[in-house]
Structure 1
Amino acid sequence: MRASGPEELARGVLAGDRRALARAITWVENRRPGASELLRRIYPETGRAHVVGLTGAPGVGKSTLAAALARHLRSAGQRVGLVAVDPSSPFTGGALLGDRIRFSQGAVDDGVFFRSLASRGQVGGLARATGDVIHLLDAAGMDVVLVETVGAGQSEVAIMRHAHTVVVVLAPGLGDDVQAAKAGILEVADVLVVNKADQPGASRTVQELRQMLELGAPRDPGWRPPVVETVAADGRGVAALADAVARHRQHLTESPAGAQRDRWRAEEALRQELLALVAERLHGTAAWAAAADAVAGRRVTPAEAAARLLDALRDERGPRDGHPAEGGGGRAAVEARGGAAGG
């Protein structure tokens, strides 16, 4: 279909039209005019899909595991959306989108919708559009949305902002597997997976993970993360992983943790959007340039400059048309008021 505007495109997404869904994702990923209105129209129809994040270091087999899990869920009659975030070049901004190539090598029916997103420089293993794409897949009728992160390692705790269930994937033979995960990524796990479990050292990795779970404080006192062994290349253990995800979903439904996480994710989404909007509103203005010059010249600290930029937003003239804002938004004010703060 060729949608003429956000209203028509939203209707197509809500009707489950795959072409409309693909086009809508392109709109939000590229921040096309009308994307905000499109999201506003579909947002009330979201909140039904279970979002599962798969994260872990590069080389553990996340892509293969995500594809195998998607096929298993589809064989059980569920509609599945799969979002794979690929790293962008820090120089060109381009991305190989190799997960799309790997995933396309297997047969998938129309009940699975796959999309690669370029991270476009975002930290935390995700693209900025990830949350919006999840909402679109949800509104289009997907029962489960799988999100595979870039594979940046411990910084990927950002997946917690989007996923109901976080699956942390490890593999034997990648050095000190558990030690590499100690600094934070294990604490976000709702399910732990040791993939490539047919390789030497897998049983040791499983044992170490279980010992760490005994010693550590759980993220959710009512849920003990299971450790699942898989060989995603031939499908072994994928059914057990799907069962663990289903049990965690049931736990969230039946315990206060589900509502608590929903509220936390809502606050995080609001915080991220607010930060982005403020930065976009100010970036490139005279006030922004003045603040950057003052920070670079050691006349004010970054924290002071940021506070004054927020003050500048109170004057509707300053951030939008480049006039210095009253109360400290312009170059002279930033420099004069910050003279004593340099160093």
Structure 2
Amino acid sequence: MEALFEMIRRGDRPALARAISLVEDGAPGSRELVQAAYRTPGNSRIVGITGAPGVGKSSLVDGIVNELRSMGRSVAVIAVDPSSPFTGGAILGDRVRMKHRTTDPHVFFRSLASRGHLGGLTRATGDVLTLVGVAGFDDVLVETVGAGQSEVDVMKYANTVLVVLSPGLGDAVQTLKAGIFEIGDVFVVNKADLAGADRTRAELEMMLDMRPPGGWRPPVLKTVATTGEGLPELAGAIEAHYEYLKSSGGLKARVRNRFLASLEEYLKREMVDEVLRAASASGELERCLAALEAGKDDPASAASRLASQYRAASSCSALVPSERS
């Protein structure tokens, strides 16, 4: 794994792709790769792109890549796709997306399978972003799964969050209700050549006017990703927000949030596994499942009981004095 990691540090794209697969699958050696990556942090600018299905996120990502490449910046795209219920892999995969970019040595594209994870991202997101950062990309674009209004997790990982909408679908109101409105650093009205684009932009501006004054004021931009209209302005807004974060101290806070999100993911995995192992060993897990099957219990109550029993057992273990030789 040490040799593979060194190849990633040198910018070897196939090595990076292989490492991401190992991390996604939790394969042997993946933990060592991740540990090395966190000890060799990169300086990539991470941009999250979120929004409801059908607003043109993928086309917009492609357009942003074109714009950033014209500025001489290297770009990695991490697109979280729905999972196949049979294989657990990404349904769309890399081959059907951004085909014309496969020969550009300064662009890396990878699909990750959401594997049923809520929040629009995947459990491996933090680790994958850290690996990509080691490879030295200037920008990393994270496109969420398109699961609608549950995609707020992107704010935990990105320096800048783009919320993408399209006109005429009532998206502005839906975004406000979903809570996505609060996470947006830049709002993008894509497909702005359609009727209603100006109205959607005006609605968003009105909502932003209701925010408390001070701090960063998210711009609302119109784009037509398929023609490139508005993309230079969007790239400028991303740069402006990043500079604001650096000057205000917000960048350090966002990097810390990313580490906290990764820490939370590992804690969840570790604690769930420990509770289930203890419950299985004591026979309580089997009793809970039998009660659920008989309609005599519910998952919430059973989970609370298992957690309480685990905490009680852990407390008792802590009180037992260790043997001295």
TM-score bucket of the superposed structures, by smaller chain: 0.7 to 0.9
2:206 to 205, 208, 211: 211
SS of corresponding position for 1:154: coil
Query: What amino acid sits opposite 1:293 in the alignment?
Result: L
User: Using the alignment, how far apart are the partners of 2:12 and 2:168 within structure 1?
Assistant: 43
Match of 1:303, as an amino acid?
A: S
Is contact 1:295–1:305 with CA below 8 Å preserved after alignment? Answer: no
Aligned residues of 2:47 and 2:142 also touching (Cα < 8 A): yes
Residue aligned with 2:151, SS: helix
Partner of 2:289: 293
Q: Within 1, Cα distance between the matches of 2:180 and 2:262? A: 20
Letter in 1 for 2:181: L
- Distance in 2 between the 1:315 and 1:8 partners? 45
Closer, same or farther: CA 315–136 of 1 in aligned 2, 3 Å: farther
Counterpart of 1:259 (choices 232, 246, 252) is 252
Change (3 A) 1:69 1:302: same
Q: Residues 71 and 108 of structure 1 are in contact (CA less than 8 Å); yes or no, is this contact kept in structure 2?
A: no
Structure 2: runs of 5+ lacking an equivalent: 321-325
* SS of equivalent to 2:167: coil
1:231 match: 224
Q: Name the SS of the counterpart of 2:203 in structure 1.
A: helix
SS at match of 1:141: coil
Ranges in structure 1 where 5+ consecutive residues have no aligned partner = 1-5, 317-325, 328-343
User: Aligned residue for 2:305?
Assistant: 304
- 1:291 deviates by 7.0
Query: Who is 1:37 aligned against?
Result: 32
Query: What SS does structure 1 have at the residue aligned with 2:47?
Result: strand
Does structure 2 conserve the Cα–Cα contact (< 8 Å) formed by 1:194 and 1:227? yes
**Are positions 1:48 and 2:48 aligned together?**
no
- The 5 Å alignment of 1:6-45 reads 6-45=1-40
- Superposed, 1:114-263 pairs within 5 Å as 114-174=109-169, 176-183=170-177, 184-217=179-212, 221-263=214-256
Is the Cα–Cα contact under 8 Å of residues 56 and 151 in structure 1 kept in the other structure? yes
Residues 295 and 302, structure 1, Cα contact 8 Å, conserved in 2: no
Q: Which moved more, 1:291-300 or 1:77-86?
A: 291-300
1:113 to 108, 114, 117: 108
Q: Distance in 2 between matches of 1:50 and 1:149?
A: 17
1:247 Cα offset (Å): 0.5
Is residue 269 from structure 1 mapped to residue 268 from structure 2 by the alignment?
A: no
Q: 2:14 and 2:163 mapped to 1: Cα distance?
A: 32
Equivalent pair of 1:88/1:119 in contact (CA under 8 Å):
yes
CA RMSD in angstroms, aligned pairs only = 2.5
- The CA deviation string for residues 120-170 of structure 1, in whole angstroms up to 9 with x for no partner, is 111111111111111111000111100000111221000011101000000
How far, CA to CA, are the matches of 1:95 and 1:107 in structure 2? 18
Judge which range, 194-203 or 298-307, deviates more: 298-307
- 1:8 Cα shift? 1.0
- Normalised to the residue count of structure 2, the TM-score between the two structures is 0.88
Query: CA contact under 8 A between 1:97 and 1:118: conserved in structure 2?
Result: no
Note if contact 2:121-2:153 (Cα within 8 Å) is conserved in structure 1: yes
Superimposed CA distance per residue, residues 217-244 of structure 1 (whole angstroms, 9 cap, x where no aligned partner) = 48xx410000111000111111111110
Residue identity matched to 2:186: V
Q: 1:59 to 1:273 in 2, by over 3 A?
A: same
Higher mean alpha-carbon deviation, 6-15 vs 286-295, is at 286-295
Does the Cα contact within 8 Å between 2:16 and 2:131 map onto a contact in 1? yes
Distance 1:271 1:89, change over 3 A: same
Give the 3 Å change call, closer, same or farther, for CA 105–146 of structure 1 in structure 2: same
Question: Cα 1:202–1:72, aligned 2, differ >3 Å: closer, same or farther?
Answer: same
| Secondary structure in structure 1 of the residue aligned to 2:226 | coil
**Alpha-carbon distance, 1:61 to partner:** 0.3
Q: 1:305 to 1:212 in 2, by over 3 A?
A: same
Deviations 1:234-287 (A, max 9, x none): 111111111100011001100032222333332232122101122234446335
Q: State the Cα deviation string for residues 86-133 of structure 1 (Å, max 9, x = none).
A: 111446634322564131145651100000011111111111111111
Per chain length, whose mean CA-contact separation is higher, i.e. which structure has more relative contact order (CA < 8 Å, sep 6+)?
2
Cα contact 2:82–2:114 (8 A) shared by 1:
yes
Deviations 1:29-56 (A, max 9, x none): 1111110101111222224001000000
Structure 1 residues 238 and 9, CA gap change in structure 2 (3 angstroms): same
